[in-house]
Amino acid sequence: MLALTGLFFAAFIAATLLPAQSEAVLAALVLAGQHPVWLLVTVASIGNVLGSVVNWVMGRFLMAYSAHPRFPFTPAQISRAQDWYGRRGWVSLFGSWLPVIGDPLTLAAGIMREPLWRFLLVVTAAKAGRYIVLVMALQAAL
């Protein structure tokens, strides 16, 4: 149970704006062979999606503080992001699994008021898909 908890938190933290590597933890647990692969992928996916929901929630409520002098984005940056998201929209969330840009995408989705139901659907598909591909590649290499 400790290994699954560690995997969950590694995946959760990796999905927030904090740096972490859940793929290494997942790969190590798959190679250890002590848990069913489907369970490992499920735990990692749930943790990673919930971490992305934290980003979405932060984005959703971040704009309430846009008038504050220390707000991290200028009105011009927000306008550009709204333009970009308006053109690409929810489809961009399929890139939420990507390193570096994936986590900010989930924050932007919250800022742009992406409906939670669609956010969950797309981000779950993207992030679970990444873990499935990783495990399949790992197993094929063995």
114-132 pLDDT per residue, tens: 999 999 999 999 999 999 9
| Confidence (pTM) | 0.89
Q: How far apart are CA 94 and CA 127, in angstroms?
A: 8
Q: How far apart are CA 108 and CA 59, in angstroms?
A: 6
Low-confidence ranges of the chain (pLDDT < 50): none
Q: How far apart are CA 47 and CA 45, in angstroms?
A: 5
